[in-house]
Amino acid sequence: MLFAARMRNLFQYYLASKNVGNDFDKLCDLIIADRLKGSLPHGTLYYVLSLEGDDRFESDRVATLAVIYVSNRADSINTKTAPSSSARVVSAATAGGRPSQQARGGYAGSGSR
């Protein structure tokens, strides 16, 4: 019984600290935003939390920032240079003289052998 009372008090304190009050929509949004943050990878989570600071972002803002982070990170990864054709030749030579699927320009999971 004491554990349940303590949990209730902690939950009420948490809701008060997030300015939820008695608004059911704010409660739903807080829960969704917390679940979104809980499912983010560390890099994305740290990015969102660094922008959030002491405020509380709504769930749509958390999702938008996560998409921005992921798309910017993907853009920076795509701007790196692709392996040159000489790297493909070297990897084909190390595969026992037989060019691998990747060295022939295909993908490993494409099914064409």
Domain ranges of the chain: 22-79
- The residues near 113 (Cβ < 8 Å, ≥ 6 apart) are 101
pLDDT in tens, 61-95: 999 999 999 998 877 676 664 555 444 444 444 44
* C-beta of residue 95 within 8 angstroms of C-beta of residue 103: yes
| pTM more than 0.85 | no
**3-state DSSP call for residue 87?**
helix
